[in-house]
Amino acid sequence: MKILIVDDSRAMRMIVRRTLRQAGYGQHDIEEAANGREGYEQIQSTKPDLVLCDWNMPEMTGIELLQKLKDEGHGVKFGFVTSESTDEMRARANEAGGLILIAKPFTPDSFKGALAPHIS
Amino acid sequence: MGMDLDLDFRSPAEEACAVMLGWDATHLAAPPATDAEAPSFRGEVSIASSEGEADLVVAIDCPRETAVAVARALLGADEDEELPPEDIQDAFGELVNVIGGNIKGLIVGAVRLSIPSVQLIRSWRQLDADLPGHPVFQMWLEHEGHHLRISVLATTRKPKNKGATP
C-alpha cells in the first residue's frame, strides 16, 4: 500500500512517518509532499492508496485539496492529521469525503485506532 | 471580540509537551530566573473570530537551548547531534502549531488559525519587551532545566500568516 503524507512541516512529516512505523504500518511505501499543491501533483503522478494530510498549510490547504479531488471524482482514501479537531471541522471533513481525522498531538495507538479500518 | 476567554489553557500545552516531546513538565507558579541576554525563540500563531484582524496570539517563548531540546525530542535526534537552524525553527513551529490549534479548539467563536511563525531574537530582554498583545493567560512549564513560557495575548493586529481554518 502506498501512503502519502502531506504537511508543510518537515518535522511533522518525520513524526507521522515514525508513528506509522510504531503503529505497525512500517511495511508500507511512504511518500511525502510539503503542501496541498505538491500533494495534488503527487497524487496524480504516483497514485497513492491513502493520503494523510495536514489541514492548515500554505499554497493549498488540506480541505482545498480534498475538495479538488472530490470535484474531479478522485477516489483516493483521504484523512486529516491536524492540530484542530472541532466538531465543525470534523463535519466539514466528512462532508468533503474525508475518512479519518487524527488530532495532534497523537500517539501510535491513536493512529492504529484511526487507520485500522482503512489499511489492509 | 466575540470569543469566550474564561478558560484554562494549561492542558493543551501540558498534553503537547507530554505526547510530542515525552516531557513530564512541571507547571511553575512563578517565572524562573532567565538569562536576560540569552538568544531566545518566539513562536506564535494568531487566532481570529472572523476574517481580517487577529483577536488572539498564542506565543511560546524560550531560550535557544530549550528550542533545540524541543527540536531534538521531536526529530528523535541524539543529544550531541547538531541540528540546522531551519530544522529547529520548523520543529519549534510545529509545537506552537499544535498548542495553538488545541487552544483554538477550546475557544467558542474562534474560526481561523494562522500558520505558525518562529523568530530567533537577540536576547530574552528584547523578546520580553515586545509581547505581541496584552496577556489574558500566561504560564511557565519546566522540564529538566528547560523552560517554556506560553502566553495567550489579546491583540488587534493583522495576522502575520493568514491561515485557512476551518
The confidence score (pLDDT) of residue A71 equals: 95
Quick: pLDDT tens for B112-157: 899 999 999 999 999 999 999 999 999 999 999 999 999 999 986 6
Provide the β-strand partners of residue B117: B44
The confidence score (pLDDT) of residue A107 equals: 96
Of B23, B57, B59, nearest in space to B149 by CA: B59
Name every residue whose Cβ is closer than 8 Å to that of residue A54 and which is 6 or more positions away in sequence.
A6, A7, A8, A9, A12, A62, A80, A81, A82
Residue B161 CA, chain-centre distance (Å), reads: 15
Query: Do residue A10 and residue B87 have CB atoms under 8 angstroms apart?
Result: yes
Boundaries of every domain in chain A: 2-115
Band the pLDDT of B166: cuts 50, 70, 90: very low
Kindly list the residues from chain B whose CB atom is less than 8 angstroms away from the CB atom of residue A92.
166
Whether A94 and chain B come into contact, CB under 8 Å, resolves to no
Mean per-residue pLDDT over chain B, rounded: 89
Instruction: Tally A–B CB contacts below 8 A.
Output: 75
ipTM here: 0.92
Provide the β-strand partners of residue A71: none
Kindly list the residues from chain A whose CB atom is less than 8 angstroms away from the CB atom of residue B85.
none
Question: 493520503: which residue's cell?
Answer: A51
Mean per-residue pLDDT over chain A, rounded: 95
Confidence (pTM): 0.91
Give kind and range of the element (H or E) at residue B102: helix B85-106
The confidence score (pLDDT) of residue B41 equals: 98
The confidence score (pLDDT) of residue A51 equals: 98
Of B111, B117, B74, nearest in space to B93 by CA: B117
Could you list the beta-strand ranges (E) of B64-165. 112-113, 117-121, 134-143, 146-154
Quick: pLDDT tens for A3-16: 999 999 999 999 99
Ordered by where they begin, the domains of chain B are 10-27+36-154 (3.40.1550.10)
CATH hierarchy code of domain A2-115: 3.40.50.2300
Residue B133 to residues A17, B56, B58, B103: CA-CA distances in angstroms? 37, 8, 10, 17
